[in-house]
Structure 1
Amino acid sequence: MHILRTTYLSLGSNQGNKLENLQKAIDLIAENIGSVQKISSVYKTAAWGFESDDFYNCCIQVSTGLNPEDLLKNIHKTEVFLGRKRTADKVYKARTIDIDVLLFDQEIIFSKELIVPHQEMLNRKFVMVPLVEIAPNVIHPIEKLRLQICLNNCTDTGEIENTHLKLIRPVSLSEKYNYIAIEGNIGTGKTTLSRMIAEDYNAKIILERFADNPFLPKFYEDNDRYAFPLEMSFLADRYQQLSDDLAQFDLFKNFIVSDYYIFKSLIFAQVTLQKEEYFLYRKMFDLMYKEISKPDLYIYLYQNTPRLIENIKKRGRDYEQNILPEYLDKIHQGYNTFIKTEEQLNTLIIDVSDKDFVNNPEDYKAVIDLIKKAE
């Protein structure tokens, strides 16, 4: 689990579309560094220390799981991506974007790459005014004074103008959703994706306890004999687990992510049970389904059957190695029917057939972007 820390960043731009540069930087920070909690107004100031066009400046508060070194690396990547060209000299120059780390919790850092609190922040009104707007009562770690007092003591006489231009704060997953359920066929990577999201976004994770089910290996050996006890035991366990975990609010977690939803029980039961068994099973399911909280977002990971077979063989569970493609096709058809008919769920289908979100950061980012943009 990442320990979340609060950092304050100063952003400035005086080349090109300055407002757009600031917005792009904030969006990239939200994607790659952490959740943007607050954004100050946009202020216009003259270039500080050299002759050039006026700057647009703002400050933001970010909650991040990165350590200071990785934070700085990601900031430099963001600057380069937005067109900043760093040089070895220390001469002030015009730039598309400039991002400085002002504070990192209450830490005092002196290293070759990073000094925090920023050495010059108290002497620069274009930093202190937007910073105090969003954090007036934060204590400066060295001065031991509130930032509002530090601004009052600032001797910078440069003019600073509030442009009243607005920047949009990116909404984080934890603000948008309380509960996300991720499902998919056998081998789609739903558990892996759930783990990755829980780690990156400090979410409480609910994982299916399939490994503890004694009927599962027996079912793959003799489907007809063990289908009903398998599905009933899964249903009972899923109901109990979801009822217990969804009812327990965790103050230290942002939201909940699970690698299954209880409707999975009905989909698999449709495939595995005989008609009479399914009729009895459905009665039990309907009673339980009414009591289970619905997810804010239901994600279905689709993956084509050949890729599923490949993944199943790769993870090497003995009892799964004889699963037939026809069985996987039936499960997918069951999910497809469920998604089309269950109108109460906010559903997002993500095709991951050509994605490797485990080993390819860009694929993982693409999946997260789709989740963030879901209505």
Structure 2
Amino acid sequence: MGARGKTVWLGLGSNVGDRAAHLRKAIEGLREIAGGAVKSSRIYETEPVGPGEQAKYLNLCVKLVTDLPPHQLLERCQQLEKHLGRVDRGRWAPREIDIDILCYEREILDEDGFVLPHPGIADRQFVLVPLVEIEPELVLPGFEESVSGLLQRLRATEGPQGVVEYRIRHQGGSRILPESMRYVAVEGVIGAGKTTLVKLLAERMACMPLFEEFENNPFLADFYRDRHRFAFQTQVFFLLSRFRQIQDHFQQQDLFRPQVVSDYMFAKDKIFASLNLDENEMSLYQRLSGLLEKQLPRPDYVVYLQADTKILMERIRQRDRYYERHIEEDYIEGLNRAYNSFFHYYDDSPLLIVNTNHIDFVRTPEDLNLLLDQILKGPQGVTYFSPGVKH
């Protein structure tokens, strides 16, 4: 793909067969066509338009960048529809998959039935609702007001139509996170059990797991041997890696498991930086960190797993990761104090603080169920949870 490309918005719909699977495969195909990221709205279930009885549609809109000119892009979209099993039943008929080019940059076109922007956008809430979600200030070529304004005016004249967000139910998930918890971060000092809990949440609640790629840091093993010498390289690598990973994930988020549970949060990077960097390094780090953090979403809910230093050290020894073998207890003690201080003042998201000293949510199902029940209560300020602690 070229350095620039053209920005395009498309509408997708399906009301035959496994509607969600058709949409998922269509997005995968569009990623191949674009050769890069595809930004998507949520999925909406909508009433069919036109004469005759039909099943409800699933609709969404996507945004992508392409080097293909309009007619070639249309041809590729039609080839993708055919590949995904679309049967031509005529106008207003049910469809396995429908991929419409809604808007192609600032292009205005009317050639051989191919019209840009797509005719009827301003009269269809099932198009405008997902389009507004991904690009609320978009002004279509030939229009004077944004798509948000078009939707507001349409709703004022004909009332809200049957456009309802659609949530896929996964057979593997016996529980469902509250709708308000689309992005959950699990935090804690090394050895607290963050990654393990995220795996369990993903399995039981049909969430998309997001794991920190700490093993890819080439400075980590050296840092644990000589923290002063390798602190800045290690910290900047982590900062940029965490930024890239979160940004990439949310740009190509899996619509069919839209709720994300992560074993780290970007803001926690500051904790390690404050412990490991000198004054000059910290000044440079803060400038870089501040620029990056503004571009990332904040968690809707944070779970902070606490444990005493002795317990953390025992867990670290038991898992025996080669790059952690030189970790000193004083370092974990310092981290513990820094984490507790950070979350004492943390107020960017609702927070659940869990004392894990007396529970084993890995080997004891009762402990895991207690913790899951507490998480499922949902965001409500700061909550302290100390299972197994006798008062």
TM class, shorter-chain normalised? 0.5 to 0.7
What residue number does 2:290 align with? 286
Q: 2:188 aligns with which of 184, 189, 205?
A: 184
CA deviations over 1:286-329 (Å, ceiling 9, x no partner): 11111110111011100111110110000011221222222112
Q: 2:239 aligns with which of 216, 235, 238?
A: 235
Residue 366 in structure 1 maps to residue 373 in structure 2:
no
Residue 316 in structure 1 maps to residue 320 in structure 2:
yes
What residue number does 2:203 align with? 199
Aligned residue identity for 1:264: K
Write the distance in 2 (CA, Å) between the matches of 1:326 and 1:217: 17
Check the 8 A contact 1:174/1:255 in 2, yes or no: no
Aligned residue identity for 1:177: M
What residue number does 1:328 align with? 332
CA deviations over 1:63-89 (Å, ceiling 9, x no partner): xxxxxxxxxxxxxxxxxxxxxxxxxxx
Write the distance in 2 (CA, Å) between the matches of 1:297 and 1:314: 30
Q: CA deviation at 1:272?
A: 1.0
Q: Which is worse superposed, 280-289 or 331-340?
A: 331-340
Residue 210 in structure 1 maps to residue 214 in structure 2:
yes
Write the distance in 1 (CA, Å) between the matches of 2:320 and 2:289: 31
Write the distance in 2 (CA, Å) between the matches of 1:171 and 1:186: 28
SS of structure 1 residue aligned to 2:223: helix
Q: 1:275 aligns with which of 279, 290, 308?
A: 279
CA deviations over 1:162-182 (Å, ceiling 9, x no partner): xxxxxxxx9931524101000
Q: 2:229 aligns with which of 219, 225, 241?
A: 225
TM-score by length of 2: 0.51
Write the distance in 1 (CA, Å) between the matches of 2:178 and 2:208: 11
Write the distance in 1 (CA, Å) between the matches of 2:270 and 2:325: 23
Write the distance in 2 (CA, Å) between the matches of 1:285 and 1:268: 13
RMSD value, Cα? 1.6
Q: List alignment gaps of at least 5 residues for structure 2.
A: 1-173, 381-391
Q: List alignment gaps of at least 5 residues for structure 1.
A: 1-169
Q: CA deviation at 1:343?
A: 1.8
Residue 346 in structure 1 maps to residue 350 in structure 2:
yes
Check the 8 A contact 1:195/1:205 in 2, yes or no: yes
CA deviations over 1:218-273 (Å, ceiling 9, x no partner): 11111111100000000000001011112323122141000000112110111111
User: Which consecutive aligned stretches of 4+ in structure 1 deviate over 4 angstroms post-superposition?
Assistant: none
Q: CA deviation at 1:278?
A: 1.1
TM-score by length of 1: 0.53
